[in-house]
Amino acid sequence: MKTLIVLLIVFQISACYSVAVSDLSSTWLIGYELEGGNDGGPLAGGSVATFSNASSTLGGRSTLGGRNDGFLIGLAEGRSIDMAITFRHSPVIFVRLVGGFDADEIRGRFSAYSSDGDFWMGNFSATRAGPGEGHASYAEDADMALKPTVFIDPEAIWSEQQGKERRDAFEINYSRDAVLMCRNKPMIWQWWLY
């Protein structure tokens, strides 16, 4: 009987702890440790990211050095995190962050690409911003406002073709609010911002 009571208490404590840890909604200070690619450039100044966590989905805004035009999407499951930040003004910069987290710290690997042809990779770490830290004002951009998202699945469109109309190549039309789904492994996040 004592063993059962102890197990129940441990389970309740760990369940409460996991709920507290899994909510990543906050402002985070991100630092980049460069291991390859071009010189630090915009990554040298680090980032501030403010995002909300609904279920396993992350969404929010981010800065990069002096830029404030970043839009963040991501997925947090268990203690793993996979995020993508797109800075859409010239030059466009795409940053992918993959790693793990606990209550107050995120650590992992990053890769970043620029429309100018620059490339960076290495480690990143992020900590929750404390009082008075991480204040950021983000660019006001009508195109960055949240809108209903349209998911386009090219493989499903191809599979549904019938009879004489069946083709190996076909045209896909999409808008800025479309997410083009792909089943490649490892998953490549494509975010069309033309």
Which tens digit of pLDDT belongs to each residue from 10-19?
Answer: 334 333 333 3
Give tens-digit pLDDT for 109-129: 999 999 888 999 999 999 999
Q: What is the mean pLDDT of the chain?
A: 76
What's the whole-model pTM score? Answer: 0.65
How far apart are alpha carbons 111 and 120 in whole angstroms?
Answer: 6
CA angle 66, 68, 70 (to 5 degrees): 125
pLDDT of 146 > 70? The answer is no
Q: What pLDDT was estimated at residue 22?
A: 61
The token pair at 77 is 């499951």
- CATH of 23-142, picked from 2.40.128.30, 1.20.1260.10, 3.40.190.100, 3.40.91.10, is 2.40.128.30
pLDDT band at 169 (very low <50, low <70, confident <90, very high): confident
How far apart are alpha carbons 177 and 144 in whole angstroms?
Answer: 10
Structural domain boundaries of the chain?
Answer: 23-142, 147-194
Q: What are phi and psi of 141, to 5 degrees?
A: -145, 115
Give tens-digit pLDDT for 48-105: 999 988 888 888 999 998 899 999 988 888 899 999 999 988 889 999 999 999 878 9
How far apart are alpha carbons 76 and 106 in whole angstroms?
Answer: 11
Q: What pLDDT was estimated at residue 155?
A: 67
